């Protein structure tokens, strides 16, 4: 009986269902905003028109540590962001800074950006962006929080290792292909930190005072290139203040320059904790507020997101009419455009993660970025087939460098350390031993471990010291600048004693910054190895063994003494806790050394090879030009050595006479050429009026002033091999 009743009921329901149904349901037309064949701007307007006020406000601020809300009702996804510039950071908890302890997020660590800059090879930057973009895409991130392009102003800045050196032209040329590589994957770059974040001391509030000319000639060019040539889809505001306004909501930087003058159509994202006021955030160019209620990386309110300046306080001001809804709609349009470029782009690729290919890319970039600073008596390369006793000394030979350093920290699938790399390359024939020699551990008997290293050094055929900094606090780390220009943990003393014990000493520096080298005269070979990622050890050993011929060149100067740095010499760092004034103006790095005839320890653009290169005479296709013209410079370069090598040919412009003080020379071109032994190539550069221009504060414009100029071509900023003069004629 019961079954009959049940069956009857089922039959009734199914009949009922049919009564209400027309024929097979007709699919409803796809809404415009989801129709990928419609122009993006139309899709934006359609989505905007469908959103409620609350939904519009909700997408303007964080919903978790690393995501901002989507529009669930309309099927518009959340926006997930991830650090950092060197790899895809491990997953964090929703509302805590601690790791989520996932087991599928161990990534590839690519070399730090100073190493990328040291390749002077835009193709490497594109390969870097492509690979890291694939990893971010695979991990379903819409925004990669990098690259950083803040200019290297002082050797003590804790985050220099994340940036691209002291010269705006080099940084501009290297950031653009990185952006293209990443965004090709449907992932946005978020170029940071805009602007003037050149120190970590007082970073959350210090007000930077700098003249307009310096701002435009030194600190803005890499960001401008990122926007106008790179087409970055996002920019991150810096913590600090400029013109007494926080950079995360700064009328002059964000509205006047970035969005109006440069035509930036992407999204401005605050640094984490960089937002301080609702009205300023509403009107002064901020689009997405992240990380508020923290001091950047630590203390926070749990689930503070409704308290954010662009959350309920913003909604309230909109509802009471104190803030115009047009201001909100402008933010929403930009955020929707970011979504259509990323999460709502159905044609974007699927990425890949922690692959052999990415490890190989990381290794290639490291191999091209590692710099041979000194090589007396051709001590390097060491023959890997030679049965020899090699002593490795130094904590950094066995120290992981992909972790630490602050927000650019990574959890890696693998990291080949220097010791392992050297064993890989030399272990078949050499007898390799290790002694720590120095340690970052505070409670260590430094004298004892130093003495042991020195005693063993005397018995070795060759000693490889691996030291430097280590991305711990005050040693190349976010939120803390270095306290000394010298190497820490008494490394200088150890190196000097090792040099006395064994003349065949190679010093390998793992760091992201310049350091003092009081022992430089006593050490025959010095290698700048950077923080070079998952393949660091293999890349280093491939250079030491000669499998790879080093070709990297310095993206920043190594002063002999800290006082030889402009900001330090002028007592213009770190400021008085409220303001820091860039008294040196445009004279940053080599520009300062040239203007004061200061000989650096190693100059901007310096780097040696295991072969040699001869430069012929520079020639010009014309001797004079007008502003709308350009001049072509040609110069033959020959590999005069016995092995294949790559040379970075650098073009500097010298203005013989100008109405304003100008640097002796400025980098305005470079080309990396690979030459077989005996091979000669002619390298050409096009020189246009932009290459001759300075920024005139009064005119608020770039000016190419008629007169005599010289093109200087060389192997570094102080190794000029040929010059050619020409005239810029008045119109
Ligand atoms: C940090 C850094 C920034 C990073 C962000 C998220 O404070 O300044 O570079 O992307 O917070 O971790």
Is 105 tagged catalytic?
A: no
Question: Model confidence at 8, in pLDDT bands (50, 70, 90)?
Answer: low
Q: Residue 428, SS3?
A: coil
CA 531 to chain centre: 12
Residue 25 pLDDT: 62
Write down the domain spans for the chain: 1-30, 33-64+73-341, 370-553, 557-610, 613-728
Q: Residue 691, SS3?
A: helix
Ligand 1 centroid vs 571 CA: distance in angstroms?
28
Question: Model confidence at 97, in pLDDT bands (50, 70, 90)?
Answer: confident
Ligand 1 centroid vs 271 CA: distance in angstroms?
6
Q: Residue 152, SS3?
A: coil
Least confident of 21-30, 177-186, 374-383: 21-30
Among 363, 451, 434, 425, CA closest to 396: 434
165: left (phi over 0), alpha (psi -120 to 50) or beta: left
**What CATH class is the domain 33-64+73-341?**
alpha beta
* Contact (Cβ atoms closer than 8 angstroms) between residue 138 and residue 192: no
Pairing, β 188-194 against β 234-237? parallel
Residue range 602-643, pLDDT digits in tens: 999 999 999 999 999 999 999 999 999 999 999 999 999 999
Cα dihedral value 582, 583, 584, 585, nearest 10:
70
Q: In the numeric block, which tokens belong to residue 672?
A: 């990396």
Residue 38 pLDDT: 93
Residue 702 pLDDT: 97
Backbone angles phi, psi at 493, to 5 degrees: -65, -40
Among 147, 146, 142, CA closest to 81: 142
Query: With respect to CATH, is domain 613-728 assigned 1.20.1630.10?
Result: no
Q: Residues of the chain with pLDDT > 90: what percent?
A: 93
Residue range 379-403, pLDDT digits in tens: 999 999 999 999 999 999 999 999 9
Structural element, H or E, at residue 119? helix 113-119
Residue 62: how many CB atoms within 10 A of its CB?
A: 27
Per-residue three-class SS string for 573-586 = CCCCCCEEECCCCC
Ligand 1 centroid vs 473 CA: distance in angstroms?
16
Among 387, 486, 490, 394, CA closest to 430: 387
Catalytic residue, chosen from 83, 271, 564, 655, is 271
Closest ligand 1 atom to residue 197 Cα is 8
* Contact (Cβ atoms closer than 8 angstroms) between residue 337 and residue 325: no
Helices (H), 506-640: 536-544, 566-569, 590-595
CA 535 to chain centre: 18
**Torsion sign across C-alpha atoms 378, 383, 384, 388:** negative
Among 513, 297, 321, CA closest to 409: 297
83 close to ligand 1 (CB < 6 Angstrom) = yes
User: How far is residue 341 from each of residues 50, 285, 345, 517, 588, measured CA to CA in Å?
Assistant: 19, 20, 6, 48, 37
Residue 147 pLDDT: 98
598 close to ligand 1 (CB < 6 Angstrom) = no
CA angle (588 as vertex; 586, 594 as ends), nearest 5: 95
Residue 29 pLDDT: 80
Ligand 1 centroid vs 479 CA: distance in angstroms?
10
The CATH code of the domain at 370-553 is 3.40.50.1700
Pairing, β 462-468 against β 431-435? unpaired
Angle, in degrees to the nearest 10, between helices 312-319 and 325-341: 130
Q: Residue 242, SS3?
A: strand
* Contact (Cβ atoms closer than 8 angstroms) between residue 525 and residue 509: no
The mean pLDDT value for 522-536 works out to 98
* Contact (Cβ atoms closer than 8 angstroms) between residue 151 and residue 198: yes
Contacts of 377 (CB under 8 A, 6+ apart): 524
The single residue listed with the structure tokens 């272990």 is: 427
Residue range 419-446, pLDDT digits in tens: 999 999 999 999 999 999 999 998 889 9
The single residue listed with the structure tokens 């401008």 is: 224
Among 136, 162, 140, CA closest to 149: 162
Measured distance CA(439)–CA(456) in Å, rounded: 17
Residue range 486-506, pLDDT digits in tens: 999 999 999 999 999 999 999
249 close to ligand 1 (CB < 6 Angstrom) = no
Least confident of 20-29, 175-184, 704-713: 20-29
The mean predicted confidence, pLDDT, of the chain is 95
CA atoms within 13 A on the CB side of 63: 16
The mean pLDDT value for 520-532 works out to 98
189 close to ligand 1 (CB < 6 Angstrom) = no
Residue range 151-189, pLDDT digits in tens: 999 999 999 999 999 999 999 999 999 999 999 999 999
Measured distance CA(280)–CA(277) in Å, rounded: 5
Q: Is 571 exposed, middle or buried (0-12, 13-18, 19+ CB in 10 A)?
A: exposed
Question: Model confidence at 30, in pLDDT bands (50, 70, 90)?
Answer: confident
Ligand 1 centroid vs 234 CA: distance in angstroms?
14
Pairing, β 719-728 against β 624-625? parallel
Residue 28 pLDDT: 73
Residue 437 pLDDT: 98
Among 377, 390, 420, 678, CA closest to 542: 420
* Contact (Cβ atoms closer than 8 angstroms) between residue 648 and residue 553: yes
409 close to ligand 1 (CB < 6 Angstrom) = no
The sheet with strand 505-510 has its strands ordered as 371-375, 525-528, 505-510, 462-468, 389-393, 431-435
**How far from each other are the two terminal CA atoms of the chain, in whole angstroms?**
105
Q: Whose CA is nearest to atom 12 of ligand 1?
A: 407
705 close to ligand 1 (CB < 6 Angstrom) = no
* Contact (Cβ atoms closer than 8 angstroms) between residue 694 and residue 217: yes
Residue 504: how many CB atoms within 10 A of its CB?
A: 18
Residue range 279-301, pLDDT digits in tens: 999 999 999 999 997 655 556 66
């Amino acid at each position: 009986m019961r079954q009959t009743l049940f069956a009857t009921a089922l039959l009734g329901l199914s009949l009922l269902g049919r009564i209400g149904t027309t024929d097979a349901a007709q699919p409803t037309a796809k809404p415009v905003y989801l129709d990928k064949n419609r122009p993006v701007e139309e899709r934006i307007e359609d989505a905007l028109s469908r959103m409620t006020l609350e939904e519009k406000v909700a997408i303007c601020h964080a919903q978790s540590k690393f995501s901002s809300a989507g529009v669930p009702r309309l099927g518009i996804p959340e926006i997930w962001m991830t650090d950092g510039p060197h790899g895809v950071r491990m997953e964090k908890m929703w509302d805590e800074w601690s790791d989520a302890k996932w087991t599928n997020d161990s990534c590839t660590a690519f070399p730090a950006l100073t190493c990328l800059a040291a390749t002077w090879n835009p193709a490497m930057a594109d390969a870097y962006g492509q690979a890291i973009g694939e990893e971010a895409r695979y991990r379903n991130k819409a925004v990669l929080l990098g690259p950083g392009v803040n200019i290297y102003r002082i050797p003590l800045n804790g985050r220099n290792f994340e940036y691209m050196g002291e010269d705006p032209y080099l940084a501009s040329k290297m950031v653009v292909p990185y952006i293209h590589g990443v965004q090709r994957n449907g992932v946005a770059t978020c170029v940071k930190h805009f602007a003037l974040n050149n120190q970590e001391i007082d970073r959350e509030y210090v007000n930077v005072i700098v003249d307009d000319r310096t701002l435009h000639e030194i600190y803005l060019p890499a960001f401008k290139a990122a926007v106008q040539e790179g087409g970055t889809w996002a920019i991150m505001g810096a913590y600090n203040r400029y013109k007494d306004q926080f950079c995360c909501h700064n009328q002059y930087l964000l509205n006047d320059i970035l969005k109006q003058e440069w035509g930036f159509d992407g999204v401005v994202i605050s640094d984490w904790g960089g937002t301080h006021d609702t009205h300023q955030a509403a009107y002064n160019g901020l689009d997405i507020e992240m990380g508020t209620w923290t001091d950047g990386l630590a203390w926070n309110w749990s689930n503070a997101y409704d308290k954010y300046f662009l959350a309920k306080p913003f909604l309230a001001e909109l509802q009471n009419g104190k803030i115009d809804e047009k201001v909100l709609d402008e933010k929403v349009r930009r955020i929707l455009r970011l979504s259509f470029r990323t999460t709502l782009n159905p044609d974007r690729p699927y990425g890949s993660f922690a692959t052999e290919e990415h490890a190989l890319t990381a290794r290639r970039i490291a191999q091209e970025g590692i710099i041979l600073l000194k090589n007396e008596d051709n001590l390097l390369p060491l023959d890997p087939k030679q049965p020899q006793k090699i002593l490795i000394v130094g904590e950094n030979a066995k120290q992981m460098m992909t972790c630490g350093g602050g927000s650019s920290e990574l959890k890696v699938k693998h990291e080949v350390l220097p010791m392992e790399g050297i064993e890989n390359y030399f272990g078949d024939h050499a007898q390799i031993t290790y002694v720590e020699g120095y340690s970052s551990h505070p409670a260590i008997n430094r004298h004892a471990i130093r003495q042991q290293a020195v005693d063993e050094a005397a018995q070795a055929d060759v000693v490889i010291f691996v030291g430097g900094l280590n991305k711990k606090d005050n040693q190349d780390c976010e939120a803390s600048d270095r306290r000394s220009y010298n190497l820490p943990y008494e490394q200088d003393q150890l190196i000097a004693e090792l040099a006395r014990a064994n003349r065949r000493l190679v010093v390998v520096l793992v760091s992201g910054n310049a350091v003092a080298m009081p022992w430089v005269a006593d050490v025959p070979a010095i290698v700048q190895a950077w923080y070079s990622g998952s393949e660091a050890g293999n890349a280093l050993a491939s250079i030491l063994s000669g499998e790879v011929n080093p070709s990297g060149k310095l993206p920043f100067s190594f002063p002999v003494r800290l006082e030889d740095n402009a900001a330090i010499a002028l007592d213009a760092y770190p400021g008085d806790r409220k303001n820091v004034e860039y008294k040196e103006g445009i004279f940053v790095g080599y520009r300062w050394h040239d203007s004061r005839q200061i000989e650096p320890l190693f100059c901007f653009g310096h780097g040696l090879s295991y072969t040699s290169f001869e430069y012929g005479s520079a020639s010009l296709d014309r001797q004079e030009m007008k502003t709308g013209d350009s001049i072509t410079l040609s110069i033959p370069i020959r590999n005069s050595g016995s092995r294949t090598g790559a040379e970075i040919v650098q073009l500097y412009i010298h203005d013989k006479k100008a109405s304003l003080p100008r640097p002796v020379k400025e980098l305005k071109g470079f080309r990396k050429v690979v030459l077989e032994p005996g091979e000669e190539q002619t390298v050409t550069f096009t020189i246009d009026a932009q290459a001759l221009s300075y920024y005139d504060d009064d005119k608020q414009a770039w000016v190419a002033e008629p007169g005599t100029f010289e093109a200087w071509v060389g192997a570094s900023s102080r190794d000029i091999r040929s010059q050619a003069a020409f005239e810029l004629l008045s119109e």
